[in-house]
Chains A and B, each alone.
Chain A
Amino acid sequence: MKVKEELVKGGLCVAALLSVAVLLIVVGYVFVNGIGVISLNFLLESPYRFEYGGIFPQIIGSICLVAICLLFAVPMGVASAIYLAEYASDNVITRTARFFVECLAGIPSIVIGLFGLVFLVYYLDLGICLLSGGLALGFMILPWTVRASEEAIKTVPHTYREASLALGVSKWRTIRSVVLKSAYPGIITGILLGMGKAIGETAVVLLTAGSGLESFLPKSIFDPVASLPVYIYMMATQGHTSAAYSRTFAASLVLIMMFLVISVFALLLRNRYIRHMGRR
C-alpha cells in the first residue's frame, strides 16, 4: 500500500517537473538564441533591409493594437456581462445569448482574422490598419471578457445588492458602487487573460493590421501597423540568414517579457485591490 502511494506520488511529481521543464526549455531556448541581439539599439531602432535594424515600431505597434483591442472589448464585455448577470431574466433568449458567447470563444483565431479582413478591411473599407487589427483582436477576446466579468459579477454576494437597494440607491448606482467594485479583481483577471491572448495573437493581425515589417510608426488609427508576432512570423518563414534567425528569437524574447510585465503588473494591481477590500 505504502509503495503504491509512493509510486503515485513519484509519478505525479515527475509529471509536474516535466511541465515546468517544457516551459523552461522553451523560454531558455528563446533566451539563449535571442539575448545576443538585444541591445538598446535593437529596441529603439526601426528595421531596414528586412533583417537589419531594430524592432521599435513592432513593439509600439503591438502595444497600440492591444490598446485599441481593450478599448473595444473591455467596455463591450463588461456591459454585456452586467446585462446578462443583473438585468436579463433567465429565459430562452439569454440562454441563447450565453451559448453564442461560449461558441464565439471557440472560433479559431484565423477565422476571426478572415472575418476582420472581409468585414472590417474590405466591407467597411477601413483598410489594413491599426483600427482593423485592434477591433479584430477585440472580437477575439470579447467572449473571454464577457465570461470572466459575468462570473466575477455573479460571485458578488446578493446581500450587498439588497443592502444598497434598501438604502434607497437605484439599481444602476448599486451596480456601479457596490457590485462592480467587488467584482473588479475578477474582471481584471479576465482582462489580463484577454491581453495575454491579444498580444501574442498572430493570425488575426497578420490579416488585418499590417505586414509586420513596417519601419514607421502609425500616424493615425487608419495606418498599417507593425506588430511583434507578425514580425516573428516573417523572420521565421522568410528570413534565411543568421541575422534573421537570431532576430526571430530576440523579438520572441521581447514579446515574452512584455507579457510577463503585463501579467505581473495586473497581478500586483489585483492583489493590492483585494487587500484593500479586506478579503484576505
Chain B
Amino acid sequence: MSKIEVCGLNVYYEKGTVHALKEVNLEIETNKITALIGPSGCGKTTFIRALNRMNEVNDVMTKGKVFIDGVEIYNRGVDVINLRKKVGMVFQQPNPFPMSIYDNVAYGPRIHGTRNKKLDTIVEESLKKAALWDEVHDRLEKNALKFSGGQQQRLCIARALAVNPEIILFDEPCSALDPISTARVEDLLRALKKDYTIVIVTHNMQQAARVSDFTAFFLLGEMIEYGKTTQIFEKPRDKRTEDYVTGRFG
C-alpha cells in the first residue's frame, strides 16, 4: 500500500524563474525504504522537503498534489504543525540544539505538551530506537554538542522519533559522517523500517543499493525512473539511469 502519493509535483524557486521539480509522479510504499538518487542539483532534496512542506520556509512556489494517507497536504485546511509531527526529518548536517541530550530529545514532545515521567519514557525509548541509549544513558545531562558527529546524527534521529512520526525523511544523513558512523546509521535505517516509512536522499549509490527497497532516479528536476532497487541497479530501463548507476556520470 502506498503511504505517500505525489501527483504532478512542480516546484519553483526565485519567484518562479527556476523550475526545480518538473511534473514528478511517485508513490512511496508503507514501511519500506525509498531512496532518491541523482547528481547534485537534480531536485531530490527539494522533493523530500515538499513532503513535509519544509520548502515553505524558503521562498518557494509549489504546484501539484501530495497525498499522505489519502489527505492532500497542500490543502488549505491542513495544519502544517500536525503534518510535520507526522512526517519527521533528519538533515544533512547533524543539527542538535545546544542543549543537553535529554532536552534535545524531549524538545518536541515537551512543546507538544508531554510532561514529567511520560517525558522520561519517551526520551529513553527514542534513544533506544536510535541505538544511542547504551552510549549516552549515563550522560543525558551533557551538552549534545560535545558528542561525535555520528552520535549527534543518531541523536537527531532520536529527536525526530520522539514526536512519534509515521514517516521519516532523511536528507543525505550520512554525507557528513565517517564510514563507521555511516554503517551504524544504515543499520538503524533497516531496523526502523518495520515501524516507519522512510524516504532517504543520497548521492551515494552504494548506500541506496545497500539500504533501500525502492529507488527513484532524479535528473535535472525530473524523475527519470522509479522501481525496485534491484531493478534500478541491475536492469535500468532508461539509458540515463544506466549511465548514472554504472558511474558514467555523477
Interface residues of B in 49-96 (CB under 8 A from A): 52, 54, 57, 80-86, 88-89, 91, 93, 95-96
User: A177 and B107: CB pair below 8 A?
Assistant: yes
A177-B107, A177-B111 are known contacts. Are A166 and B97 too (CB-CB below 8 A)? no
B145 within 8 A of A: yes
Secondary structure type dominating chain B contacts: helix
Residues A279 and B98 in contact, CB atoms below 8 Å apart: yes
Find chain B residues with CB under 8 A from A278 CB: 98, 143-146
A163 at the interface (CB under 8 A from B): yes
Contact size class for A? 20 to 34
Shortest distance in angstroms between B196's beta carbon and chain A's nearest beta carbon? 15
For B85, the chain A residues whose CB sits under 8 A away are: 167-168
In the bound complex, CA of A170 to CA of B52 (Å): 14
Residue A272 is within 8 A (CB to CB) of chain B in the complex: no
Q: With CB as the reference atom, state the residue of chain A lying closest to B90.
A: A166
Report the interface size class on chain B: 20 to 34
Inter-chain CA distance A277–B84, complex, in Å, is: 27
Residues on A with C-beta less than 8 A from B89 are 166
A residues in contact with B97, CB < 8 Å: 160, 163-164, 178
Report chain A residues within 8 Å CB of B88.
166-167
In Å, the complex CA distance between A267 and B82 comes to 41
* Alpha-carbon distance A178/B104, docked complex (angstroms): 11
Q: Report if B108 contacts A (CB, 8 A).
A: yes
Q: Are B84 and A162 in contact (CB under 8 A)?
A: no
Residue of B83, B84, B112 with most chain A CB atoms under a 10 A cut-off: B84
Nearest 3 pairs of A and B residues by beta carbon = A278-B143, A168-B85, A159-B95
Q: Does A165 contact B (CB under 8 A)?
A: yes
Asked if A167 meets B108 with Cβ closer than 8 Å, knowing A159-B91, A277-B143, A279-B145, the reply is yes
